[in-house]
Amino acid sequence: MKIIIAKDYNDMSQKAAQQIMSQVTFKEDSILGLATGSSPLGTYKKLIEFYQAGLIDFSKATSFNLDEYLGVPPDNPQSYRFFMEDNLLNHINIPKERTFVPNGMATDVQKECDSYEEQIKSYGGVDLQLLGIGHNGHVGFNEPSTYFTPPTHQITLKEETIRANARFFNSIEEVPTQAVTMGIQTIMSARKVLLVASGKEKAGTIQKTLQGKIDPQVPASILQLHPDCTFILDPEAASLLK
- Cα end-to-end distance, the chain, whole Å: 15
Q: Give me the catalytic one of 87, 136, 142, 165.
A: 136
Distances (CA, A) of 121 to 67, 127, 130, 186, 205: 16, 11, 18, 10, 31
Q: Measured at the alpha carbon of residue 130, what is the angle toward residues 124 and 134, in degrees to the nearest 5?
A: 130
Among positions 66-95, residues that touch ligand F6R (CB under 6 A) are 66-67
- In the residue annotation, 138 being an active-site residue is answered as yes
132 binds ligand F6R (CB under 6 A): yes
Burial of 160 (0-12, 13-18, 19+ CB in 10 A): middle
- By residue count, the chain amounts to 242
183 binds ligand F6R (CB under 6 A): no
State the DSSP code for 158: P
138 binds ligand F6R (CB under 6 A): yes
Question: In this chain, which of 13, 14, 39, 189 binds ligand F6R, going by CB under 6 A?
Answer: 39
151 binds ligand F6R (CB under 6 A): no
- In the residue annotation, 143 being an active-site residue is answered as yes
Residue 26 CB, shortest distance to ligand F6R, in Å, is 25
Q: Which stretch binds ligand F6R (CB under 6 A): 1-9, 107-115, 127-135, 169-177?
A: 127-135
Non-local CB neighbours of 139 within 8 Å, separated by 6+ positions: 66, 131, 132, 133, 184, 187, 195, 219, 220, 223
Residue 68 CB, shortest distance to ligand F6R, in Å, is 9
- In the residue annotation, 67 being an active-site residue is answered as yes
Using Cβ positions, the residue closest to ligand F6R within the complex turns out to be 132
State the DSSP code for 108: S
Which residues are part of the catalytic machinery? 67, 136, 138, 143
Binding site for ligand F6R (CB under 6 A): 35-39, 66-67, 132-134, 138-141
